[in-house]
């Protein structure tokens, strides 16, 4: 009896979707620490923690949307579009808080547009948002002519990226957003509708769930978070570059998938995505600390992504057979 | 014998055309209170069309539906469901990657309070209630948190039937519930259907396989090419008679 309950618990741990990404995270930390002990120095931990939220917040939105069975490839472009609109609004004399809010509304609006087109014409969101990715990246270049607008002076940067010891406020925003989204996903009826919409939309619809509304809301959320994260980065760097967030959509999807969320929808965890975001940024930073050429970054992220999914599938299959 | 006129639902003279093809030609179909009706017929006989009209997927072109003595027009499946007509399609009933509990309460979650229009799930109560619902059909499962994916086909039907029962459905329509199930599993599903009858809930059991329907049905209705060609109380007929009807060209 004693033994079977012990085995059962192990089985449950192995069945958790976050497990394989957590294992990988520990391995990465140990490997980099043994190569470059400074990897875990206070200063370096601070450096890593300051860049994680910018990927993490985007990845949380991508995860929520992916659970409902849709994609957003345009997050990287929205990540650049929103802060640039913010800078332009201020250039036109708008109040700083209002400019940020307007930029965020635009972010949500671009998500609504993705959702509207995808759901109205019944085309894959992969296609819609691939188009949107190109359109808004092009839009950013058109608006700026390739030259960044001047970063407004006297912005309230402290509220988003102010320093507290080695940490930045953005880390707390990341934490708060994670908690709120976790609550919505795991503890509210809307979260249940999300899983249902992504897992079997015919069943969801048959049970009276407004699948369209659920998906639309998540398209908007995903895009809003991408815009918010872009604003955070522009505050940290005090500049708005048209090239911001280039390739971020792939990193966000990688973080999501590494964390155990299924590409096909209906399955996923936000905690896994947080772990995935840490993993990606730690590999990034660890390679620098280990003095490896930075070209290795993409190679390692690619390997990590594939490995995580294999590990996840493998571990869970094994765990299922661990019947007691 | 007075009960004979006590119909829960009556569909009268139903016609339905699809792009010039007549799918139903003046079908009369009725279900009494607490009755199990077997609806049989070959593929393309019009069973699905009839049931989709009854469950609100689409309106009939002519004819009327009388439910609990009143004429009804369903604008959507939701409206039919709100009146107590629950349809269980094998593929569309469950979300496999969700837990049993979350499936049972899908779209009708129990919540403690509303936080900014989001319902805060009352998980403790849903756990208890879903186990109760499962027990009401005699389904014993270890935990309400097990994934539906891990259940057998028969158990899934059981969960869907338990759900219908829990939400006080008056009429449960089962679309080919025994398809792709082993003999043993099919037997379980029949047991669930008998459980519905015990609780006074009417049901329609659709199948192209007469042998699955016959053991539980009180009455058997045969459709062929969009017309009703047979409607028998079980005691007045036999498998042989209905089989003959079904294989007629």
Give the distance from residue B1's alpha carbon to the nearest chain A alpha carbon, in angstroms. 37
Q: Which alpha helices (H) appear in A68-168, and where do they start and end?
A: 75-91, 96-121, 125-144, 158-161
- Interface contact A319, partner B, CB < 8 A: no
Q: Is A228 on the interface with B (CB under 8 A)?
A: no
Element (H, E) at A230: helix A211-237
Asked whether residue A304 carries a pLDDT value surpassing 80, the answer given is yes
B106–A209 C-beta distance less than 8 A: yes
Q: A188–B102: do the CB atoms touch at under 8 Å? A: no
Domain extent, residue A264, equals 2-321
Residues of A in contact with B94 (CB under 8 A): 200, 203
- Among B94, B111, B123, select the one facing A203 at the smallest CB separation: B94
Report whether pLDDT(A121) > 50. yes
Q: How confident is the model at residue A293 (pLDDT cuts 50, 70, 90)?
A: confident
Q: Which of A189, A202, A203 sits opposite B119 (nearest CB)?
A: A189
- At which residue do the structure tokens 């600390």 appear? A289
Which residues contact residue A134 at a Cβ distance below 8 angstroms, ignoring those fewer than 6 apart?
A77
Question: Measured between CB atoms, does B122 come within 8 Å of chain A?
Answer: no
Q: Find residue B11's DSSP bridge partners.
A: B29, B65
CB B232, CB B219: distance < 8 Å: yes
Cβ-Cβ contacts under 8 Å, A207 against chain B: 106-108
C-beta atoms surrounding A164 within 10 Å? 9
CB-CB under 8 Å, B106 with A200: no
Taking CA atoms, B53 is separated from A68, A209, A314, B49, B85, in Å, by 29, 20, 45, 6, 11
d(CA A232, CA A61) in angstroms, rounded, equals 15
List B9's β-bridge partners, or say none: B31, B67
Take residue A95 and report the two structure tokens written for it: 């109040």
pTM of the model: 0.90
Radius of gyration of chain A (CA): 20
DSSP notation for B58-121: S--SEEEEEETTEEE--SSHHHHHHHTEEEEETTTS--TTSBHHHHHTTTS--EEEEETTEEEE
Bridge partners of residue B118, in order along the sequence: B115
* Residue scoring higher pLDDT (B246 or A189): A189
Q: Give, as one character, the DSSP assignment of residue B2.
A: G
Q: How far apart are CA A218 and CA A265, in angstroms?
A: 13
Question: Would the CB atoms of A195 and B102 count as touching at under 8 Å?
Answer: yes
Distance of CA B160 to the CA centre of its chain: 10
Q: Comparing C-alpha atoms, which of A248, A242, A269, A266 is closest to residue A258?
A: A269
pLDDT band at A214 (very low <50, low <70, confident <90, very high): very high
User: Hey, are the CB atoms on A188 and B94 less than 8 Å from each other?
Assistant: no
Q: Write out the E strands in chain A.
A: 163-164, 167-168
- Nearest in space to A308 (alpha carbons), one of A237, A230, A264, A254: A254
What residues form DSSP beta bridges with B64? B12
Q: Is A113 exposed, middle or buried (0-12, 13-18, 19+ CB in 10 A)?
A: middle
Distance from CA of B32 to the nearest CA of A (A): 25
> Residue A264: which CATH number?
1.10.3470
What residues does B38 pair with on adjacent strands? B205, B220
Taking contacts as CB-CB distances below 8 angstroms, the residues of chain A near B95 are 195-196, 199-200, 203-204, 266
Distance, CA of A127 to chain centre: 20
The three-state secondary structure class of B226 is coil
Compute the mean pLDDT over every residue in chain A, rounded to the nearest whole number: 91
pLDDT tens figures, B84-97: 999 998 777 899 99
A196/B95 Cβ within 8 A: yes
How near does any CA of chain B get to the CA of A200, in Å?
Answer: 5
Picking from A207, A266, A267, the nearest residue to B107 by CB comes out as A207
What does the H/E/C string look like for B153-167?
A: HHHHHHHHHHHHHHC
| Burial of residue B21, with CB atoms counted within 10 A of its CB: 0-12 exposed, 13-18 middle, 19 or more buried | exposed
How high is the pLDDT of residue A7? Answer: 52
Tell if the CB–CB gap between B93 and A203 is shorter than 8 Å.
yes
Helix axes A211-237, A96-121, angle to 10 degrees: 140
- pLDDT tens-place string over residues B34-75: 999 999 988 888 898 999 999 988 899 999 999 998 999 998
From the list A184, A188, A196, which residue is nearest B106 (CB)?
A196
Contact flag A187-B121 (C-beta cutoff 8 Å): yes
Decide if B118 and A188 are in contact by the 8 Å CB cutoff: yes
Split into its structural domains, chain A has a count of 1
Over residues A21-68, the pLDDT tens digits come to 899 999 999 999 999 999 999 999 999 999 999 999 999 999 999 999
Tally Cβ neighbours within 10 Å of residue B18: 11
């Amino acid at each position: 009896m004693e033994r079977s309950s012990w085995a059962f618990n192990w089985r449950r741990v192995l069945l958790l979707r976050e497990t394989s990404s957590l294992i990988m995270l520990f391995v990465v930390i140990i490997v980099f620490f043994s190569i470059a002990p400074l990897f875990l120095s206070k200063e370096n931990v601070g450096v890593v923690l300051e860049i994680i939220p910018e990927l993490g917040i985007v990845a949380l939105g991508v995860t929520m949307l992916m659970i409902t069975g849709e994609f957003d490839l345009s997050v990287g472009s929205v990540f650049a579009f929103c802060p640039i609109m913010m800078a332009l609004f201020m250039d036109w004399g708008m109040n700083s808080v209002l400019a940020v809010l307007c930029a965020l509304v635009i972010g949500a609006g671009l998500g609504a547009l993705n959702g509207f087109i995808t759901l109205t014409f019944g085309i894959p969101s992969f296609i819609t948002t691939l188009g949107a990715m190109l359109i808004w990246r092009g839009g950013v270049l058109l608006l700026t002519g390739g030259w960044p607008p001047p970063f407004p002076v006297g912005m309230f940067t402290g509220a988003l990226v102010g320093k507290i010891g080695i940490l930045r406020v953005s880390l707390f925003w990341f934490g708060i957003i994670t908690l709120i989204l976790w609550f919505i996903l795991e503890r509210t009826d809307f979260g249940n509708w999300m899983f249902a919409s992504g897992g079997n939309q015919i069943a969801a619809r048959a049970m009276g769930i407004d699948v369209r509304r659920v998906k639309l809301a998540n398209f908007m959320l995903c895009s809003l978070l991408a815009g918010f994260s872009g604003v955070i980065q522009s505050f940290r760097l005090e500049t708005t570059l048209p090239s911001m967030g280039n390739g971020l959509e792939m990193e966000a999807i990688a973080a999501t998938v590494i964390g155990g969320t299924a590409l096909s929808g209906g399955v996923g965890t936000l905690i896994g995505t947080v772990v995935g975001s840490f993993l990606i940024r730690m590999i990034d930073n660890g390679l620098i600390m280990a003095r490896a050429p930075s070209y290795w970054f993409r190679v390692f992220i690619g390997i990590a992504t594939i490995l995580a999914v294999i590990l996840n599938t493998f571990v869970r299959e094994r765990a299922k057979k661990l019947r007691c | 014998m007075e009960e004979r006129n006590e119909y829960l639902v009556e569909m009268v003279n139903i016609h339905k055309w699809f792009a010039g093809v007549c799918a139903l030609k003046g079908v009369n179909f009725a279900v009494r209170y607490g009755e199990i009706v077997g609806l049989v017929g070959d593929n393309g006989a019009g069973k699905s069309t009839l049931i989709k009209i009854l469950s609100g997927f689409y309106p009939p072109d002519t004819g009327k539906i009388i439910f609990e003595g009143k004429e009804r027009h369903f604008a959507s499946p939701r409206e039919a469901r709100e009146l107590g007509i629950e349809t269980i399609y094998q593929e569309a009933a469950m979300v496999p990657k969700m837990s049993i509990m979350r499936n049972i309460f899908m779209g009708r979650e129990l919540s403690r309070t509303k936080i900014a229009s989001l319902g805060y799930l009352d998980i403790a109560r849903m756990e208890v209630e879903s186990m109760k619902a499962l027990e009401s059909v005699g389904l014993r499962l270890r935990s309400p948190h097990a994934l539906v994916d891990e259940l057998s086909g028969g158990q899934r039907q059981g969960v869907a039937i338990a759900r219908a029962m829990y939400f006080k459905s008056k009429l449960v329509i089962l679309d080919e519930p025994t398809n792709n199930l082993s003999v043993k599993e099919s037997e379980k599903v029949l047991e669930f259907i008998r459980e519905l009858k015990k609780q006074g809930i009417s049901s329609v059991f659709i199948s192209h396989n007469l042998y699955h329907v016959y053991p539980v049905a009180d009455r058997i209705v045969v459709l062929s090419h969009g017309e009703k060609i047979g409607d028998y109380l079980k005691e007045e007929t036999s498998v042989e008679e209905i089989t003959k009807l079904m294989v007629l060209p």
